[in-house]
Amino acid sequence: MEKAANPKMVVLARQYRGLNQSELAQKAGLKNWQISRIENGVQKLSETVLEKLSGALKFPVSFFFIDDEIVDGSRSNDLSPMGHYRKRKSAPAGVNDKIHAEINVRLDHLRRLLTNVELTGPSIPWSDIADYGMDVESLARDIRHHIGIPDGPIRNLSEYLEARQIIVVPCCLGMEIFDGYSVILRLRHRSFPLIFVNTLTPPDRVRFTIAHELGHLLLHDGYVPEKEREREANAFASEFLMPTPLISPQLSSLSIPKLEQLKFYWGTSMASILYKASQLNRISPDRERHLWKKMGYLGYRKLEPGSRDIAPETPRLLTRIIDTYRNEMQHDKTDMCTMLHLEMDEYETLYEEEMKEKPRMRIIN
């Protein structure tokens, strides 16, 4: 029996392109009701319709035959637990759909890419996490020590995490309301912790997001109410990036200029430093309110001064995985497009980048 196309992949492709059903119908030369029936699985996809959808959505026809079950940004049998999102504020449904679709497509790529490679080197001591109970700050300091991070600011957190087999995936989502997403991908009895970050956000916020998502991966392997979950992840990130014994003496007599000075030293946002001072009771409530108000007046709640001048995170592990396929397995670009179900221009945009360093991984059968 001939394999049928998967209507859920039509929905995913449409959301990935940021289109509603009416816009897709217009681009594909179809009727609105046809798109609705196709996506609901009522109307089967003929070869002609598939070609039209492929052209309109810029995915190869093979993409619509992927039979993975997509569930709210994850595939339940591969991911544990469902992922954690970090967003600045609520977003319209269409924007959320586009973010979820982007994550789903990239997760499908990672499933395929990670099937034939094995990461080598030490990992995070996941099994020991339960011993810390609710002491999030001690966990943050001990993980920092275990990873081998010296005292002081962290200039490239991605490098430390990727050396411990945590893959940091840069994504350009075309909007700044989304900061990051984390999940553990399970394949062939192996687990791959993943952290997605939005490259459109300033480097200081990206660094805090990576630490925040690391906190989720370590702390939240099961249901925790959202408010508590976010509080714990923020507390973990704050202590991980700015350990109390090191930063506490620097938090006296805070002002806008001093916050800016500390921002450039620690590589984190002024807001995160003010949050840290409040956590440690190193600032009075009145003074804290005054500084938040002044930062809002100056427009710093949206974009802080010098944010783009902070040294950016430079995740490289995913590029090294691509490099393994291209150079060691001798996959050309066409092979990569076939494996990932991408058109050539999109594959090049997402994944082609020359790296000087060679990957520390081996091919497996």
pLDDT tens digits, one per residue of 101-127: 999 999 999 999 999 888 888 888 766
pLDDT class for 249, splitting at 50, 70, 90?
Answer: very high
The residue written with tokens 């940091």 in the block is 168
Domain end: 283, 309, 335, which one? 309
Question: Does some domain include residue 104?
Answer: no
Q: Where are the alpha helices (DSSP H) in 40-150?
A: 47-57, 93-114, 136-147
Q: Among residues of the chain, what percentage have pLDDT more than 70?
A: 85
Structure-token match 């060691």, residue found = 328
| Phi, psi (degrees; rounded to nearest 5) at 84 | -110, 130
Domain assignment of residue 91, yes or no? no
Please tell me the predicted confidence (pLDDT) of residue 358.
40
- CATH number of the domain enclosing 296: 1.10.10.2910
Last residue of a domain, one of 274, 292, 309: 309
- Same domain for 3 and 125, yes or no, is no
Output 74 or 333, whichever has higher pLDDT.
333
Residue range 326-340: average pLDDT? 96
Measured distance CA(252)–CA(273) in Å, rounded: 12
At residue 360 the predicted structure's pLDDT band, cuts being 50, 70 and 90, is very low
Q: Where a domain ends, among 49, 67, 85?
A: 67
Query: What's the one-letter identity of residue 261?
Result: Q
User: Do 173 and 299 sit in the same domain of this protein?
Assistant: yes
Six token digits for residue 340: 């990932």
Domain carrying residue 357 = 317-363
Nearest to 139 by CA among 152, 150, 126, 155: 126
Distance, CA of 82 to CA of 65 (rounded, Å): 24
Cα–Cα nearest to 87, from 103, 70, 111, 106? 103
182 bridge partner residues: 84, 195
Parallel/antiparallel/unpaired status of strands 361-363 and 84-87:
unpaired
Contact yes or no for 73/104 (Cβ under 8 A): yes
Instruction: Answer whether residue 55 is part of any domain.
Output: yes
Does 322 share its domain with 301?
Answer: no
Both 157 and 222 in a single domain?
yes
Is residue 245 scored above 50 in pLDDT? Answer: yes
Judgement on whether residues 47 and 158 belong to the same structural domain of the protein = no
Q: How confident is the model at residue 9, as a pLDDT?
A: 95
The DSSP symbol for 307 reads: G
Based on the fold, state whether residues 154 and 128 are members of the same structural domain. Answer: yes
341 plus 269 within the same structural domain: no
276 and 197 fall within a common domain: yes
In this structure, of 48-52, 171-175, 272-276, the range with the lowest mean pLDDT score is 171-175
> How many CB atoms neighbour CB 162 within 10 A?
22
24 with 146, same domain: the answer is: no
User: Cα(132)–Cα(137) distance, rounded to whole angstroms?
Assistant: 9
In a domain, 258, yes or no: yes
In a domain, 124, yes or no: yes
Residue 85 resides in a domain: no
pLDDT confidence bin for 317, thresholds 50/70/90: very high
| Surface-to-core class of residue 40, CB atoms within 10 Å of its CB (0-12 exposed, 13-18 middle, 19+ buried) | exposed
State the pLDDT at residue 85: 57
Kindly report the CATH number assigned to the domain that includes residue 13.
1.10.260.40
Q: What pLDDT, in 10s, does the model give residues 151-190?
A: 999 999 999 999 999 999 998 876 677 888 999 998 877 8
pLDDT digits over 206-221, tens only?
999 999 999 999 988 7
Residues 288 and 224 in one domain: yes
Quickly state the pLDDT bin for 128 (edges 50, 70, 90).
low
Contacts 24+ apart (CB under 8 A), 43-46: 44/4, 44/5, 45/4, 45/5, 45/7, 45/10
For the segment 58-116, what is each residue's pLDDT rounded down to a tens digit? 999 999 999 865 544 444 444 443 456 565 556 666 788 888 899 999 999 999 999 98
102 within a domain of the structure (yes/no): no
186 and 331 assigned to the same domain: no
Write down the pLDDT at residue 352: 83
Tell me whether residue 189 is in a domain: yes
User: What counts of helices (H) and strands (E) characterise the chain?
Assistant: 16, 6
Closest CA to 102 of 19, 202, 17: 17
Could you tell me if 139 and 221 lie in one domain?
yes
CB 81 within 8 A of CB 222: yes
How many independent structural domains does the chain possess?
3
